[in-house]
Amino acid sequence: MTIAPIRVPDEWDDNGIILFEEFCAFIRTPQCTVRDWRRCGRGPTWHRFNGNGRLYVTVAELRRFLRGDR
């Protein structure tokens, strides 16, 4: 069995938005784990719509996260 790394499609615009739930599904990680990362200050940089809405990351931030850049 070969494990392939998760890759963001090249055609995705870096300014695109990925909601919290979509992010978790994309990286195949349970939401509770990603919430723990956020609480501990790990993982991607999250933003909220209007400062208090739903959590999201940009496609650029997703790419940075998958590369392992800090």
Interval 41-54: pLDDT, tens? 999 999 998 878 89
pLDDT confidence of 70, banded at 50, 70, 90? low
The CA distances from residue 67 to 8, 31, 51, in Å, are: 11, 20, 27
Contacts of 63 (CB under 8 A, 6+ apart): 8, 14
- In the predicted structure, residue 20 carries a pLDDT above the cut 80: yes
Tens digit of each residue's pLDDT (9 = 90 or more) over 23-44? 999 999 999 999 999 999 999 9
0.75 exceeded by pTM = yes
